[in-house]
Amino acid sequence: MSIRNPKQALYEQFSIVAKALGHPLRLEMIEHLAQGGRSVEALAAKLSQPVANISQHLQALRRAGIVSAERDGKFVHYSLADDSVLSAFAAVRGVAERQLAEVDRIVRGYFDARDDMRPVTRDELQTLMRDGLVTLIDVRPKDEFALGHVPGAINVPLGKVRAWSTDAAIGREIVAYCRGPWCVMSFEAVAALRALGHSARRLEDGMPEWKAAGLPVAVVA
């Protein structure tokens, strides 16, 4: 290692963090960990990746101070080290959304086809919920719902949305949310519900953003 002045040393540290964010799989891991802490194996299962691969990426994230590890018996429980990680993710996403034409292309080509309406903002949702005007569904898997969800939301995992919507007597508009602003599941859910004749919209972003905004979070006992 060459001699560095403090300025270069600091830039090097900052670049460690950015470098750690610079891999699609690691970003996906962060989004999953934002739903709640997980073991290596559980995370590997969620992402359909070899355990060793996930373990290595977790090491990389840990070296960058992005995740923290805590041993729990024979498991090692990983979780996001800090809420500032979410802001960094959001900031990077923001640059990409504004500046990369490819993002726009992907969004138009896939997401817009499934949701041509303006999403519901967090503020709007709170008003609608208070006035009892909407049914809020959390389309994430059961385990993620259990770790924390918007108070009043019903857990309807994506695969069960069709069955649920025919069974339940829904007289109100449905609002769906999942892991984050571009989480595919809520788009799919809204598309499926509309195809069945329901009135449905997406929440503008997901659980981690809700929590980061300081809003109340419900946990399954």
Whose tokens are 């990409």? That residue is 96
Q: Which of 17, 42, 92, 184 binds DNA (CB under 7 A)?
A: 42
Query: Is residue 192 near DNA by the rule CB under 7 A?
Result: no
Query: Is residue 76 near DNA by the rule CB under 7 A?
Result: yes
Question: Between residues 76 and 218, which has the closer beta carbon with respect to DNA?
Answer: 76
Question: Between residues 135 and 144, which has the closer beta carbon with respect to its own copies?
Answer: 144
Out of 20, 61, 85, 178, the active site residue is 178
Task: Please list every residue from 72 through 101 that binds its own copies, using CB under 8 A.
Answer: 81-82, 84-85, 87-96, 98-100
66 forms beta bridges with: none
Q: In what order do the strands lie in the sheet with 200-202?
A: 154-155, 134-138, 173-177, 200-202
Query: Is residue 213 near its own copies by the rule CB under 8 A?
Result: no
Which DSSP string corresponds to 121-181?
A: PHHHHHHHHHTT-EEEEE-S-HHHHHT-B-TT-EE--GGGHHHHHHHS---SEEEEE-SST
User: Residue 70: CB partners within 8 Å, gap ≥ 6?
Assistant: 37, 76, 77, 78, 79
Query: Is residue 65 near its own copies by the rule CB under 8 A?
Result: yes
Q: Please indicate whether residue 178 is annotated as part of the active site.
A: yes
Contacting range for its own copies; rule: CB under 8 A; set: 2-10, 69-77, 131-139, 201-209: 2-10
Task: Report the catalytic residues.
Answer: 178
